[in-house]
């Protein structure tokens, strides 16, 4: 004996979104109605394909990368004489974005701001180049690379942006060996927010009164310290905790300061180290070669350079 089972019956599907091969075959009229309600969409033609149709002449670079005008390389490139000027400018902006920490905002990237000021390109083209640089920088990561120099005499902290940290360390190995340096962290630095601001010339006082004003403004803005870095040009440096960098910068603007640059840097915990003129010259050469690497964009140390 088997239990009674009802005979299966075909039911018309009420969903017009279902694919034809998955229907039960009884709703052909629904298919016709749904086709009449569909709207046709015309896709826009890519910008670069329009350029290719306008003229037969195309550069070699546009044939290799039809959608991007900015080279992805972070190394300085030598271009051919027939390379468009726009591509060369795009490469300069690419280097400025990478060397400035990866930011495409001129307010947070002083290297990019210095490159943008003399340019004569249309605003739309600059925005496209910066958008391409931003897409390239998504593959990069900021790393902290600590270095000991000359048998623990000097400590450095380097900021680098790269997609391969092991390759960067391997590239720096011959330079470190030549200057008796090594990759080692002695924890002599503290992460600190640094704000470099400018005081308008009309509000400047003599040095003693100016210094007192800076200290008062530092207390009001809740900065940990404030000191004059360049009295002639009115440059002042404020330091604060990293998580309060934006709030302190906003209060400095309210006080009449013009923010030149702000970043999260590294300040030494102990007094600065003094080197003899001969050792200082060799150390400066070491730092210059270190900064020539395409991935290192900032170097902090505990050396007193004012000798």
Looking at residue 107, what is its pLDDT? 79
> Does residue 305 register a pLDDT over 70?
yes
Q: What is the pLDDT of residues 93-151, one digit of tens each?
A: 999 999 888 989 887 888 888 888 777 778 888 899 999 999 999 989 999 999 999 87
Q: What are phi and psi of 237, to 5 degrees?
A: -115, 125
Q: Which CATH architecture has domain 141-187+270-301?
A: 2-Layer Sandwich (3.30)
- The alpha carbon of residue 301 and the mean position of all alpha carbons in its chain are separated, in whole angstroms, by 22
DSSP 8-state symbol, 41: -
Strand order in the sheet with 235-240: 225-230, 235-240, 189-198, 258-268
> Does residue 183 register a pLDDT over 90?
yes
Q: What is the mean pLDDT of residues 214-233?
A: 88
> Does residue 195 register a pLDDT over 90?
yes
> Does residue 90 register a pLDDT over 60?
yes
Q: Which stretches of 151-276 are DSSP H helices?
A: 165-178, 207-220, 245-254
d(CA 39, CA 191): 57
- Yes or no: say if 72 and 96 are a contact pair by the CB < 8 Å rule: no
d(CA 21, CA 32): 15
Q: What are phi and psi of 106, to 5 degrees?
A: -60, -25
d(CA 181, CA 35): 73
- Lowest mean pLDDT segment, chosen from 59-68, 149-158, 173-182, 268-277: 59-68
Q: What is the pLDDT of residues 31-74, one digit of tens each?
A: 444 444 434 333 333 334 334 444 444 444 334 444 788 888 88
d(CA 222, CA 241): 10
User: Is 3.30.70.980 the CATH number for 190-268?
Assistant: yes
Residue extent(s) of CATH 3.30.70.980 domains in the chain: 141-187+270-301, 190-268
Q: Which of 20-29, 120-129, 212-221 has the highest mean pLDDT?
A: 212-221
Q: What are phi and psi of 229, to 5 degrees?
A: -100, -30
Looking at residue 260, what is its pLDDT? 86
Q: Which stretches of 76-156 are DSSP H helices?
A: 85-99, 110-116, 123-137
């Amino acid at each position: 004996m088997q239990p009674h089972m009802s005979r299966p019956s075909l039911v018309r599907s009420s969903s017009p979104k279902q694919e034809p091969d998955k229907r039960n075959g009884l709703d052909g009229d629904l298919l016709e109605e749904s086709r009449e309600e569909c709207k046709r969409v015309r896709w826009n033609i890519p910008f670069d394909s329009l350029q290719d149709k306008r003229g037969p002449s195309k550069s070699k670079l546009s044939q290799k990368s039809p959608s991007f005008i900015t080279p992805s390389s972070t190394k300085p490139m030598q271009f051919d004489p027939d390379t468009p000027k726009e591509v060369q400018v795009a490469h300069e902006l690419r280097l400025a974005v990478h060397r400035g920490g990866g930011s495409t905002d001129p307010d947070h990237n002083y290297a990019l701001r210095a490159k943008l000021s003399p340019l004569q390109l249309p605003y739309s083209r600059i925005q496209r180049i910066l958008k391409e640089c931003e897409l390239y920088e998504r593959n990069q990561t900021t790393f902290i690379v600590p270095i000991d120099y000359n048998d623990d005499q000097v400590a450095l902290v380097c900021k680098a942006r790269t997609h391969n940290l092991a390759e960067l360390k391997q590239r720096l190995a011959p330079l470190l060996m030549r200057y008796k340096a090594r990759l080692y962290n002695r924890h002599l630095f503290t992460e600190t927010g640094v704000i470099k601001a400018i005081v308008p010339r009309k509000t400047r006082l003599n040095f003693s009164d100016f210094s007192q004003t800076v200290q008062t403004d530092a207390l009001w803005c809740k900065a940990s310290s404030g000191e004059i870095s360049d009295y002639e040009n009115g440059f002042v440096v404020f330091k604060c905790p990293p998580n309060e960098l934006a709030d302190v910068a906003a209060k400095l603007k309210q006080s009449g300061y013009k923010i030149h640059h702000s970043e999260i840097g590294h300040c030494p915990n102990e007094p600065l180290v003094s080197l003899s003129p001969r050792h200082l010259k060799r150390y400066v050469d070491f730092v210059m070669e270190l900064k020539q690497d395409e991935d290192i964009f900032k170097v902090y140390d505990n050396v007193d350079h004012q000798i």
